[in-house]
Amino acid sequence: MNAQTHFEKAERLASAQTKLDPATDWESIVEGCYMAAYNYVPAGAEWLGVQHKQNHMHKQNHMHKQNVSLLRQANAPQAVREAWDQLETKRAGNVYGAKTNGVTSAEARRLLQTIHDWVAGLRP
């Protein structure tokens, strides 16, 4: 996928999660925010001239780990790097943990907004 395709996919995912209710759908909100961010990062990196591996299915080069490297190579602001790290942590806690409230989903949305704003500012 190229940067524009990643960006468009991220926009669809980000929009879809806004239709969910934080009181009852926090797990889906966190996952949707994470999936959107997962696609925003390579878009932003590519727009800064940092290419990502196109083979998303190769286990050793999985994008979850690549995004940390892409953010570093793109010299992304610290707030964006931290937002990605925190989203990864929230996703793992959401999938494997037992949190049962909308606080985590609100935080995930805030973190996604940080990443979105950075990438949108880079979009040609």
Give the up-direction half-sphere exposure of residue 51: CA atoms within 13 A in the CB hemisphere.
3
How many angstroms separate the CA atoms of 59 and 76, rounded? 25
Q: Could you tell me the fold of the domain covering 3-122?
A: Four Helix Bundle (Hemerythrin (Met), subunit A) (1.20.120)
**Which tokens is 43 given?**
């878009």
pLDDT at 95: 64
- In the chain, what are the domain boundaries? 3-122
CA torsion 37-71-3-88 (nearest 10°) is -20
Structure tokens at 93: 């806690």
94 has a pLDDT exceeding 70: no
What pLDDT, in 10s, does the model give residues 79-90? Answer: 999 999 999 988
Q: What is the pLDDT of residues 60-76, one digit of tens each?
A: 445 567 899 999 999 99
In the predicted model, is pLDDT for residue 8 greater than 60? Answer: yes
Judge if pTM exceeds 0.85: yes
Q: Which residue has the higher pLDDT, 34 or 57?
A: 34
Burial of 27 (0-12, 13-18, 19+ CB in 10 A): middle
Output the pLDDT for position 50.
94
